[in-house]
Structure 1
Amino acid sequence: MSMLESVDTVCLGVSNIMKAKQWYSEKLGLKVVFQEHNYAVLSLGDSSIPLTIEEKEVVSNNAIYPIFYTSNIEETHQNLSEKGVKLTEIVSEGSNTFFDVFDLDGNKMQVCFY
């Protein structure tokens, strides 16, 4: 048996947990499933791996980022754009199509379809 059994969560640093929690809920439709004073765990649809946002004094743009899957990338891109979310254009690279999403602190996330 492996010492490490699974990925538990993906964690992003944010400057204000209350504002970030509201942004992730309103803009991305994520649901808060657990919260402590400086972090919140958010559920992602049917995924068993949640996203954790943690308040930090210094927030730097992340080099490691979560990639979310969608079955309708054009609709998802349009919906997020209408909500005022900072996005890149949709990029197609062979069988993978994706775009980047940025939260209030400039944390990069990606949405893909394949």
Structure 2
Amino acid sequence: MSNSFIEQVHYIRIPVKNLERSAHWYRDVLGLQLVNLTEELAVIKVNEGPFLLILIPTEDVTFAHFTINQEQEFSIGFTSPELAKFHQHLLDHQVKVDDIKEDNGHAFFHFYDLDGNMLQAHW
């Protein structure tokens, strides 16, 4: 098959414990746009593109990341052209943040939302 029926990724769903608190964290700390907040979900827009994060409330112990050999691996990566400033911004807001690492000219760090979902920022 030479052409895909899929045009783009539209959204990723992220499990959270307190929907309203998490929606405001993604808006206020990450600077993303809160488009809609209901009892069932929160819709977060990532800048001007078509990509959305959908926060889904759950009482289950579950995360938007996974493990390989018992080590956490992120599922969602964000680009940030001002990586060091973003890193400091997260630290200033008491976000759990790993150190900035560099691998062959590629800089990145991992950080965690209020529910422990592991995310990555890179440039």
Provide the identity percentage.
Answer: 27
Q: TM-score w.r.t. structure 1 length?
A: 0.89
**Which amino acid letter does the alignment assign opposite residue 41 of structure 1?**
V
Structure 2 equivalent of residue 90 of structure 1: 100
Q: CA deviation at 1:94?
A: 0.7
Whether the aligned pair in 1 keeps the contact of 2:12 and 2:53 (CA below 8 Å) is: yes
Larger Rg: 2
**Which amino acid letter does the alignment assign opposite residue 9 of structure 2?**
V
Q: CA deviation at 1:30?
A: 1.3
SS class of match (2:20): helix
Q: CA deviation at 1:15?
A: 0.9
Structure 2 equivalent of residue 11 of structure 1: 13
SS class of match (2:8): coil
**Which amino acid letter does the alignment assign opposite residue 29 of structure 2?**
K
**Which amino acid letter does the alignment assign opposite residue 101 of structure 2?**
V
SS class of match (1:105): coil
The yes-or-no answer on 1:39 pairing with 2:41 is: yes
Q: CA deviation at 1:47?
A: 3.0
Whether the aligned pair in 2 keeps the contact of 1:13 and 1:59 (CA below 8 Å) is: no
Structure with bigger RCO (C-alpha 8 Å, 6+ apart)? 1
User: How far apart in 2 are the matches of 1:3 and 1:46?
Assistant: 23
Q: CA deviation at 1:95?
A: 2.4
The correspondence for 2:110, drawn from 96, 100, 103, is: 100
Q: CA deviation at 1:80?
A: 1.1
Consecutive unaligned residues of structure 1, counting only runs of 5 or more, are none
Q: CA deviation at 1:54?
A: 0.7
Equivalenced residues, count: 113
